[in-house]
Amino acid sequence: MQTTTHEPIRVLLVDDHAMLRAGIRQFLEKDPAIRVVAEADNGLAAQPLVEQHCPDVVVLDIKMPEMNGVEFTKWLKVHQPDICILILSAFDDDPYVLATLRAGANGYVLKTASPLELAAAVKKVYAGHSALDPAVAQKAMLGMMGGSSAEITLTNREHDVLQAAAAGLTNREIGEQLNISDRTVQAHLAKIYRKLDANTRTEAVTAALAHGLLDLPAA
């Protein structure tokens, strides 16, 4: 999600550890481009806050009571699909990484990240990019491949569309860059998702990188 204004990025924090939330909030709000608008200790408690505060980015943990990060990510994608989702977790295990990415998360950062790295990840997902910790990205790529040796190929146009999507361009911007219509861009993305068994841009980009079909997006 992008904007032409200079308003701070509105962040909702969701984590069941109050002291950790306070630390994350302090880290993020050192950056004048970010403002934490609300906090919750689980996904269920966060639902009304989404409606009340209209965040641009939700930063959330995975393991929480009532409603965990994967379940809340799925809920957000149904009810507020334009909100960007950044997972902030202590876990880099394959099942957690893959479950959140397949649910629709835009990024996955470990809690060992520095304040600067965390703020950069928030800005990255807000700008439409994927934000994956290097260790997490490697696990995700291997997991997306699933051990399959089946060859996957993209047409030149599909490659161009996915490369532009990986760079954070919107469908309209991709169309303008490639001189094709928004509808044609959507059609190419639909074919790409089917080929890569993906449901989101982040998942498609990760899978394409895993199969060596895409150049690594610029930071």
Ranges 6-10, 56-60, 83-87: which has the least confidence: 6-10
What domains sit in the chain, N to C, each tagged with a CATH number? Answer: 9-143 (3.40.50.2300), 148-210 (1.10.10.10)
Residue 46 scores a pLDDT above 70: yes
pLDDT for the residue numbered 138: 64
List the strands of the sheet with 131-132, edge to edge.
34-40, 9-14, 57-60, 84-89, 107-110, 131-132
Asked whether the beta carbons of 82 and 150 are under 8 A apart, the reply is no
Residue 176: band (very low, low, confident or very high) from pLDDT cuts 50, 70, 90: very high
The residue ranking higher by pLDDT, 5 or 93, is 93
Ranges 120-124, 157-161, 199-203: which has the least confidence: 199-203
Smallest Cα–Cα separation from 46: which of 23, 26, 21, 28? Answer: 21
In the predicted model, what is the mean pLDDT of residues 203-219?
66
Amino acid at 46: A
pLDDT for the residue numbered 104: 86
Residue 60 scores a pLDDT above 80: yes
Residue 132: band (very low, low, confident or very high) from pLDDT cuts 50, 70, 90: confident
Taking the CA atoms of residue 78, residue 211, residue 144 and residue 158 in that order, the dihedral angle to the nearest 10 degrees is 10
User: Which tokens hold the place of 187?
Assistant: 């059609």
In the predicted model, what is the mean pLDDT of residues 87-103?
78
Residue 2: band (very low, low, confident or very high) from pLDDT cuts 50, 70, 90: very low
Smallest Cα–Cα separation from 33: which of 123, 168, 125? Answer: 123
The residue ranking higher by pLDDT, 94 or 47, is 47
In the predicted model, what is the mean pLDDT of residues 116-120?
93
What's this model's pTM, rounded to 2 decimal places? 0.66
Average per-residue pLDDT in the chain?
A: 84
Residue 127 scores a pLDDT above 60: yes
